[in-house]
Amino acid sequence: SLPCSIRSFSEAAGVPVGKVLGTLMQMGVADININSQLDLESAELIATAMDLTIELKETETLENSLIMELENREDSEDSLIPRAPIVTFLGHVDHGKTSLLDYLIGINVVSGEAGGITQHIRAYEVEKDGRSVTFVDTPGHEAFTEMRARGANVTDIAVLVVAADDGIMPQTEEAISHAKAAEVPIVVALNKIDLEGVDSNRVLTQLTEHQLTPSEWGGDVEVVRTSATKGIGMDELLETLLTIAELNEYKANPDREAIGVCLESEQQGDRGVVAKLVVQNGTLRVGDIVVCGSTYGRIRAMTNTLTGSSMMEAGPSTPVNVMGFDQAPGAGERFHVLDDISKAREIAETREDASSQEMLSGVTTKVSFENFQEM
Binding site for Mg ion (CB under 5 A): 97-98, 118
C-alpha 194/C-alpha 339 separation (Å) is 54
Helix (H/G/I), strand (E/B), else coil: 112: helix
Residue 359, classified by CB atoms within 10 Å of its CB into exposed (0-12), middle (13-18) or buried (19+), is: exposed
Contacts with ligand GDP by CB under 6 A: the residue count is 19
94 binds ligand GDP (CB under 6 A): yes
Report whether 91 belongs to an annotated binding site. Answer: yes
Report whether 326 belongs to an annotated binding site. Answer: no
Residue whose CB is less far from ligand GDP, 118 or 294: 118
Report whether 95 belongs to an annotated binding site. Answer: yes
What counts of helices (H) and strands (E) characterise the chain?
11, 20
Residue whose CB is less far from Mg ion, 36 or 99: 99
Residue whose CB is less far from ligand GDP, 20 or 143: 143
C-alpha 265/C-alpha 244 separation (Å) is 31
Relative orientation angle of helices 40-49 and 17-26, to the nearest 10 degrees: 90
Task: State which amino acid sits at residue 250.
Answer: Y
Residue whose CB is less far from Mg ion, 13 or 110: 110
110 binds ligand GDP (CB under 6 A): yes
Helix (H/G/I), strand (E/B), else coil: 277: strand
Q: Say which entry of Mg ion, ligand GDP, none residue 191 contacts (CB below 5 to 8 A, set by partner kind).
A: ligand GDP
138-177 residues near ligand GDP, rule: CB under 6 A: 161
Q: For residues 208 and 202, is the Cβ–Cβ distance under 8 A?
A: no
Helix (H/G/I), strand (E/B), else coil: 37: strand
Report whether 93 belongs to an annotated binding site. Answer: yes
98 binds ligand GDP (CB under 6 A): yes
Residue whose CB is less far from ligand GDP, 231 or 287: 231
Strand residues in 192-269 grouped as ranges (E)? 223-225, 251-252, 259-268
Report whether 156 belongs to an annotated binding site. Answer: no
Report whether 191 belongs to an annotated binding site. Answer: yes
- What DSSP line would sit under 177-202, residue for residue? HHHHHTT--EEEEEE-TTSTT--HHH
305 binds ligand GDP (CB under 6 A): no
93 binds ligand GDP (CB under 6 A): yes
Residue whose CB is less far from ligand GDP, 32 or 186: 186
* Length of the chain as a residue count: 375
Q: For residues 35 and 6, is the Cβ–Cβ distance under 8 A?
A: yes
237 binds ligand GDP (CB under 6 A): no
Question: Among residues 42, 172, 227, 294, which is the contact residue for ligand GDP, using CB under 6 A?
Answer: 227
Q: Say which entry of ligand GDP, Mg ion, none residue 44 contacts (CB below 5 to 8 A, set by partner kind).
A: none
Task: State which amino acid sits at residue 89.
Answer: F
Using the CB atoms, write b or e for 53-71: b if 16+ within 10 Å. Answer: eeeeeeeeeebeebbeebe
Angle in degrees, CA 238, 127, 250, rounded to 5: 70
Residue whose CB is less far from ligand GDP, 162 or 344: 162
Contact string (CB under 6 A) for ligand GDP, positions 178-217, x = contact: -------------xx-xx----------------------
96 binds ligand GDP (CB under 6 A): yes
C-alpha 358/C-alpha 360 separation (Å) is 5
Report whether 194 belongs to an annotated binding site. Answer: yes
Question: Among residues 32, 66, 95, 189, which is the contact residue for ligand GDP, using CB under 6 A?
Answer: 95
Report whether 97 belongs to an annotated binding site. Answer: yes
228 binds ligand GDP (CB under 6 A): yes
18 binds ligand GDP (CB under 6 A): no
C-alpha 345/C-alpha 298 separation (Å) is 11
83 binds ligand GDP (CB under 6 A): no
Q: Say which entry of ligand GDP, Mg ion, none residue 352 contacts (CB below 5 to 8 A, set by partner kind).
A: none
Q: How many CA atoms, within 13 angstroms, populate the side-chain half-sphere of residue 218?
A: 0
Report whether 102 belongs to an annotated binding site. Answer: no
Residue 39, classified by CB atoms within 10 Å of its CB into exposed (0-12), middle (13-18) or buried (19+), is: middle
Annotated binding site: 91-98, 137-141, 191-194
The site for ligand GDP (CB under 6 A) is made up of: 91, 93-99, 110, 116, 118, 161, 191-192, 194-195, 227-229
Annotated binding site for GTP: 91-98, 137-141, 191-194
